[in-house]
Structure 1
Amino acid sequence: MKHASHCRCDGVASRRHFLRAGTMGGLGLSFGLADLLRMEAQAGVGSSEKAAILIYLDGGQSHLESWDLKPDAGATAGEFKPIATNVPGIQVCEHMPHLAKQADKYCVLRGVKDALGVHGVGMQYVRTGNRPVPSLVYPDIGSVISKERTSPQGIPSFVSLPVSRTNQSTETPGYLGVAFGSFTVQEDPSAKDFSVRALRPPGGMTPERLQARRSLTEQLDTAYRNTDLSNDNLAGMDRFYAQAWDILRSAKIREAFELHRESAQMRDTYGRSALGQALLLARRLVEAGVRCVTLDFGGWDTHQNNFKMMKDTLLPPWDQGMAALLDDLHQRGMLQKTLVWSTGEMGRTPAINKDAGRDHWGAAMSMMIAGCGIRGGQVIGATDATGSQVIADPCTPADVAASALHALGIPHTKEYHTPTGRPIMIVRDGKVVEKMFG
């Protein structure tokens, strides 16, 4: 997990900060983790059992090769055929056979419009629910959930699993500050020896040595307590470092990351791909009390070889893993309190270019959303005969973000304050899509 940290350069307090950071750093625990925990506590909100798993398809998934096929569109129809799902009247791409069997559990939004049609700011719009502006950086929905929903002791509230994140997919806590950023796991969950380095002490660090390090930290607290009381950045640090220690020593969070505890059959059900195992890990993390898990699965910018890429590389692991996640959550009774949202940042052009690809298209796209009271087995919205324009039940990325927060019990109209004291709604221009919950 990466967070920026700031240290005063004057006086005893800065010396204490240095010693503190050194003590915790020797255990592989960053100062930013304690910052994150401190700011989460300052949010002053109650705990909720609801959680979210957000899957970002970096590059822009083609709606025409996934949720909104147009087999009668002539030259722009593409190579794939629609297949029936377990819900009469709903069809999806033939290369989504697993998700076809789970259609009763999710809602397809075929009427999403006004995406920005470019990668960086387009994904920021989807991830925050706000159109980017030069004067302010909005927080990711994951950071909003982290602020609003606390996790059990020893469990981070926001975890990021960048399976294959592109450089243009930037996750940010924005004006909420780095303390509400994610605990980012860089390791590949499909690797045979997968483990999270940030959660394991350096080699040779015994429980006795861990306790000795903590005792040293407590002595430093006592020695410099009076000088710290005037420093807002350090006051009350004891309690928050104690939480950081809790995470380091938490058997529950370590066990959540231990995928080998799952049966071989369950791991095979999700698929042994990096995405499949990350989705399984996301379920385990939510089960342990993490409030939001985000996954980035890139490669969807199919300007070239769109059909081959979709058929061979992109759709199979996503289809298998997403279907397994939905069914697994349902079987465990977790889907009713876990939001699952899968989306890219734009759609793709109806026209097929000379390289057998589809280019950027912001006028129409599709999303899938499920759980937390969202009614499955329905399609909301429609596009015209070629998938070019939305012609029924339009909504925007801001509307979907507002609806996702609503499903989690977080009013999108709630106001925060920027560092300059300016009040601002979480999602400024969105409105809840009521049909999702009908």
Structure 2
Amino acid sequence: MLNLLGNSPPTACNRVTRRTALQAAGSGLLGLSLANVMAAEQLAPSTSKLKPRAKSVIFMFLFGGPSQLETFDCKPDAPAKIRGPFMPIACRTPDLRISEHLPRVAGITDQLCVIRTMTHNYNDHSGGGHYIQTGHRWQVPLGGGFNATNRDWPSMGSVTEYVEQHRAGAKPSELPNYAVLPNFLGKLQEFSSQLRRPGEYGGWLGRGYDGLTTNITKRSAKDNPYFRACTDDELKYEIQGLSLPEGITLDRLEKRQTLVSQFDDSLRQLDHHAGIAAWDRLQQRAWSLATSSATRKALNLTEENPDLRDRYGRNLFGQSTLMARRLVEAGTRFVTVHFDACDGQSWDSHSSSNDVKKHLLPSLDNALASLVEDLKDRGMLDETLVVCMGEMGRTPQANATWGRSHWSTLFPAVLAGGGIKRGIVYGSSDKDAAYPIDKPVTPEDLAATIYTALGIDPHMQLADMQGRPVPIVDGGCPLEELFG
């Protein structure tokens, strides 16, 4: 449990043990376990003096590490073994060399800010993903693990959820402030159905600040719905852990809720400590999400114009990006959209660039261009910050079949909207796209920039698992020159 800086750290006597709660509650409301419902008793954070530039963030996370040389930092003058098989295409931004396989994005670069100099030294997918999504290095040593832990740093989305839940005068909302689409990262990865990559969770802040996560399955172990055509039956975005069992109607669910409420009332008479209060708050939130008409409406893609859905791409990544826009439009503040690695055909392109050319870049091209155009058409671009990136780049020198290995010292990030200047390039790389020449940007800098755009003070401090004050960003500087 955590308290905000300034409160005394919690003691063992104000907690419900896992065994006690599980013995009492069985499987819990809607299948939620204690790990899903226990949260800290928190006090409201101090009000930030920052004026928000954006209401919401859509974070398009291209897991696996897209190559800088095949996306937003082409080097046509480099030696053949480095420049790769793709050539740059004309775009609307001077000095930007963008891949020929991103033609729609090339047509909207006057709406984008391309950072060419993202850099860090955690050359690993799980650790890099944690670093990018939290602004903090993963505490697990390089190569020491793959899965999220309760000691991880909270994601930017989780901190946003925390701040919104504890904002002075905040009222319960039918929709979450933080959502993750279309699955938790790792769910569809081929080699382990139990893999949960770190970086997107509440971590030591508490499971109560995890994002609402939807649940999409795939046809087979080798299937990759992220870029193949999907049917509407496959795109039913149910809430992870809150889908109703077959034969359970909302009426039956309401009767079950009444029984659970009676049990909780009795339990609270026995013990009034903070753990029970936290459990009750999360139980109410789960109930609200499961029965909310606003949630069901936002997650129903069939209400969208079919032509618009076609433009986004009728694949899992395109439709999840459209879903992110729907959630933001409904009031969610932070939405992460994963382009996960399902079957080896992913941005982690060790073997060749064939899938990058045929599947990945076209899917990204449709989704990113459509999102920016859609937000602009709806008058939402100025108030929505779009961030699109991976956790690393690829080695400058390719193998014989144009596969590239991990390379975290240089990779791009694309920003749009949310007060960001349009049609600009930030930072320069060397002739081989290996290292930044100027204006290197760390994950800490990026996190500070995103928090600043949302009006969240990046110097805000929380108490960690030991009750020690820690800043939500340690050492990062917001890139103020990116804002108009």
**Residues 432 and 286 (structure 1 numbering): CA distance in 2 closer, same or farther, change over 3 Å?**
same
Q: Which residue of 1 aligns with 2:400?
A: 354
- Displacement after TM superposition at 1:407 (Å): 0.9
Structure 1 gap segments, 5+ residues each: none
CA distance in 2, matches of 1:238, 1:179: 11
Distance 1:210 1:60 in 2: 43
* Partner of residue 209, structure 2: 180
- Could you tell me which amino acid in structure 2 is paired with residue 271 of structure 1? G
TM-score by length of 1: 0.87
Moved more, 84-93 or 427-436: 84-93
- Indicate the residue corresponding to 1:276 in structure 2: 318
What RMSD, in angstroms, separates the aligned Cα atoms of the two structures? 2.8
- Partner residue in 2 for 1:123: 129
CA distance in structure 1 between the aligned counterparts of 2:244 and 2:458, rounded to whole angstroms: 40
Deviation at 1:39, TM superposition (A): 5.4
What is the rounded CA distance, in whole Å, between the counterparts of 1:350 and 1:118 in structure 2? 17
Tell me, what secondary structure is at the counterpart of 1:185?
A: strand
What percentage of residue pairs aligned between the two structures are identical? 37
- The match for 2:145 is none
Tell me, yes or no, if the aligned pair for 1:58 and 1:169 is still in contact at 8 Å.
no
Aligned to 1:148: 163
Aligned to 1:18: 25
The match for 1:111 is: 117
* CA–CA separation in structure 2 for the residues paired with 1:318 and 1:398: 25
Tell me what 1:139 maps to.
Answer: 154
**C-alpha distance 293-32 of structure 1, shift in aligned 2 (>3 A):** farther
Q: Deviations over 1:254-305 (max 9, x none)?
A: 0111111112111101001110011011111111222221122131111211
Paired with 1:34 and 1:237, the residues of 2 have a C-alpha distance of 5
Q: How far apart are the structure 2 equivalents of 1:383 and 1:278?
A: 32
Tell me which protein shows more helix as a share of its residues: 1
Which residue, out of 279, 282, 303, partners 2:350? 303
Is 1:267 aligned to 2:309, yes or no? yes
How far the C-alpha of 1:226 sits from its partner, in A, is 2.1
3-state SS of 1:149 partner:
helix
Matched, 1:318 2:323: no
Q: How many residue pairs align between the two structures? A: 423
**Cα distance in 1, alignment partners of residues 452 and 375 from structure 2:** 20
Report the counterpart of residue 65 of structure 1 in structure 2. Answer: 70
Equivalent residue runs for 1:78-227 within 5 Å: 78-134=84-140, 137-150=152-165, 153-162=173-182, 165=186, 166=189, 167=195, 169-171=197-199, 172-187=201-216, 190-193=230-233, 194-195=235-236, 196=238, 198-227=241-270
Listed one character per residue, the Cα deviations across residues 324-349 of structure 1 (whole Å, up to 9, x for unaligned) are 11111111122222221111111212
Contact 2:110 2:422 in 1 (8 A): yes
| 8 Å contact kept, 1:132–1:138 | yes
- Taking the aligned partners of 2:395 and 2:178, their CA distance within structure 1 comes to 34
CA distance in 2, matches of 1:208, 1:182: 27
1:63-92 deviations in Å (ceiling 9; x for gaps): 111001000112221111111223344331
* 1:85-115 per-position Cα deviation (integer Å, ceiling 9, x unaligned): 2334433111001111221222100122234
Change (3 A) 1:14 1:34: closer
Task: Quote how far apart the aligned CAs of 1:213 are.
Answer: 2.3
CA offsets, 1:188-211, max 9 Å, x none?
A: 594421321655433443444333
Question: Could you say which residue in structure 1 is the equivalent of 2:468?
Answer: 422
- 8 Å CA contact 1:45–1:149 kept in 2: the answer is no
Cα 1:7–1:255 shift into 2, 3 Å: farther
2-structure distance, mates of 1:109, 1:224: 53
Deviation at 1:399, TM superposition (A): 0.9
